[in-house]
Amino acid sequence: MKKLIPYFAAAGILIFVAVFANFLTPFDPYAQNLSDALTPPNAQNLLGTDRYGRDVLSRVIVGSQTTLCASLLLLATISIVGSLIGALCGFHGGKLDGFLMRLSDIFLAFPQMVFAIAAAGALGGGLLNAAAALAIIGWPKYARISRGLVLSIRSMPYFDAAKMAGSSSTKILFVHVLPNIAGTLLVTAALDVGTIIMELAGLSFLGLGAQPPTAEWGAMMNNGRSMLQTAPWVIFAPGTAIFITVATFNLLGDKLRDFFGRTE
Amino acid sequence: MKKYFLARLVQLVPILFGITFLTFGMMQFAGDDAVDKIFEQAGSVSEEVKSAKRAQLGLDQPFIVQYANWLGGILTGEAGKSFISGKLVFETFVDKLPATIELMLVSILLTIFIATPLGILAAVNRNRPLDFFIRGLSFVGNSMPNFFCGLLLIYFLALKLNLLPIIGQSVVLPALTLTIAMGAKYTRQIRAVVLEELDKPYVTGARSRGVDEITILIKSVLRSTLVTIITLLALSIGSLLGGTAIVETIFMWDGVGKMAVDAILMRDYPLIQAYVVWMAIIYVAINLAADLLYHWLDPRVRYGDSS
């Protein structure tokens, strides 16, 4: 457990910055100042300014709120809803199980990002719609995993023992089943944080997620694309921010998986 | 094998039905402002003209009728016309597909030729500097979004060093972008599989009989790596298909991914529908092929559970 602390601390710092972003920015991330447009990094604007003269560092900090908070909320929603659906299916079986699993088959037959791009496009762009698109295609994975786990628990002696002892099915689900599958689901979710961040930022990068002037890492990179040669810092700053965040959560996920003793 | 293959094909029918229904429903749900979009440039257009256009595009009919027409079109390859260009979407799709296939094939080949030796090297040198270095590279590649990776390659290789042309001509940079993310995953998995294989009793047995390491690697370990690569290919083809959309957009590579992103910005629904449906069908077909190949290569799973 002790070994995990530095990784939790690193992720904690990123989340802290994201939550309190508004108090941490040196400048107003939305204040335009055209006379200072495209200034390279210097003592005042540590990461330079973009084409509207906005401070890139401030926008990266506020962007972490948009990108990271949205990704984590999205992942929490997908993993909890998906897992509950899967657990209920595995627990009760029957027609509902059959229907939901066939439905998940259909969603799993789409390449994830292809579906997300089209769905976000159909919904009309915007961060919320992009997140909704990823949620629609994301839940079946968790439903599948948790259903499989529940089915394996149903064959355990303690499950039968709890049943014979007369526990209600709600009690069995919440006391005996869910705590025992939480570890695997948590590891799966932790390993997914990086992917979700990249997908959400990717949709924004294509113009299907957060819209300008919102400070969001993917959208910032999209806006800076045409000035790659003259003002690379406008792209490198948010790009590096995505990389560091994804790397941190990937490391945390790896360590959590090792901790729970599961291999890929 | 034949029986198994047929069973798998039958299982696909409801899935294909679901894919088409979902795709069609999604675009329908998006509303029909495509007609407004078409006339956007023309300024103010009377409602009669708009509803005539709607009737012409079949947008005034009930949902189920539209779906049935459209499904029939998909099956015959005549699935509707682009709202924008007026061309058959299937033709446009088939026109752009070779470029995407070229990009994917080059990326896959590059990935296999880079990741296999790296993974084996890392496993053989377990916990030595070379292993840590390769694992570091794989970790970095895994945490790098492909759009950032692509822009970095453009900046350093094309703009700063003038090594390669950037836009739309050479497959090298877009393929390299896709390879970095995919190769990072493959290296890691191949390393894990080789390590697992090297721990097995038959390897110890071979070693004790004096068989040299190279022969063990080539004769036994590579075979298990091959099965892993096929599994990985099937798993990663989904993210590769999605990745092409982003990478093609960055590099102006004229494939189906860029076509789809452009179509979304133009609200050209028939084109988007065709893209999603065909991508899903390609994905399902590749998975089926990988599954069959997997059964053929690894007798242990042959005729196993067909769930």
Instruction: Tally the C-alpha atoms within 13 A of residue B92's C-alpha that lie toward its C-beta.
Output: 25
Q: What is the mean pLDDT of chain B?
A: 84
Any domain includes B116: yes
Task: Provide, as residue numbers in chain B, all residues whose Cβ is less than 8 Å from the Cβ of A112.
Answer: 238-239, 242
Q: CA–CA separation, B115 vs B141, rounded Å?
A: 12
Q: Please state the domain count of chain B.
A: 1
Q: What's the pLDDT tens digit per position in B236-278?
A: 888 899 899 999 999 989 999 999 999 988 888 888 888 998 8
Domain residue limits at B152: 89-297
Q: CA–CA separation, B31 vs A122, rounded Å?
A: 8
219-248 of A, contacting B, C-beta below 8 A:
221, 225, 228-229, 232, 235, 239, 242-243, 246-247
Do the chains contact at A112 and B29, CB–CB below 8 Å? no
Find out whether B297 and B227 touch, Cβ atoms under 8 Å: yes
Any domain includes B289: yes
Any domain includes B149: yes
Q: CA–CA separation, B230 vs A104, rounded Å?
A: 24
pLDDT of B58 higher than 60: yes
Do the chains contact at A221 and B279, CB–CB below 8 Å? no
* Residue where the block lists tokens 């053929």: B296
Q: What is the pLDDT along chain A (264 residues), one digit of tens a residue?
A: 788 899 999 999 999 999 999 898 888 898 888 888 888 898 888 898 888 889 999 999 999 999 999 999 999 999 999 999 999 999 888 898 999 998 998 998 899 999 999 998 888 888 999 999 999 999 999 999 999 999 988 888 888 888 888 888 888 888 888 888 888 899 999 999 999 999 999 999 999 999 888 899 999 999 988 888 889 999 999 999 999 999 999 999 999 988 887 544
| Nearest by Cα to A121 from B85, B119, B260 | B260
Instruction: Assign B190 to helix, strand or coil.
Output: helix
Do the chains contact at A118 and B14, CB–CB below 8 Å? no
Q: So what's the pLDDT on residue A232?
A: 92
pTM: 0.89
Q: So what's the pLDDT on residue A264?
A: 41
- When pLDDT is cut at 50, 70 and 90, the band that residue B305 belongs to is very low
- Nearest by CB to residue B15, choosing from A109, A115, A119, is A109
User: Is A99 in the B-facing interface, judged by CB distances under 8 Å?
Assistant: no
Q: What's the pLDDT tens digit per position in A185-216?
A: 999 999 999 999 999 999 999 999 998 888 99
Any domain includes B45: no
- Give A210's DSSP letter: S
Any domain includes B29: no
Return the residue of A nearest to B19 by Cα: A106
Q: So what's the pLDDT on residue B306?
A: 41
Q: So what's the pLDDT on residue B70?
A: 80
Domain ranges of chain A: 56-263
Any domain includes B142: yes
Q: CA–CA separation, A242 vs A244, rounded Å?
A: 6
Any domain includes B191: yes
Task: Provide, as residue numbers in chain B, all residues whose Cβ is less than 8 Å from the Cβ of A250.
Answer: 139, 142-143
A244: distance to nearest CA of chain B, Å? 8
50-89 of B, contacting A, C-beta below 8 A:
none
CA dihedral B152, B155, B160, B162 (to 10 degrees): 100
User: Is A140 in the B-facing interface, judged by CB distances under 8 Å?
Assistant: no
Tell me, what CATH number does B231's domain have?
A: 1.10.3720.10
- When pLDDT is cut at 50, 70 and 90, the band that residue B43 belongs to is low
Query: Is residue A212 reached through a cis peptide bond, with omega within 30 degrees of 0 on the bond before it?
Result: no
* CATH fourth-level superfamily of A56-263: MetI-like (1.10.3720.10)
Any domain includes B236: yes
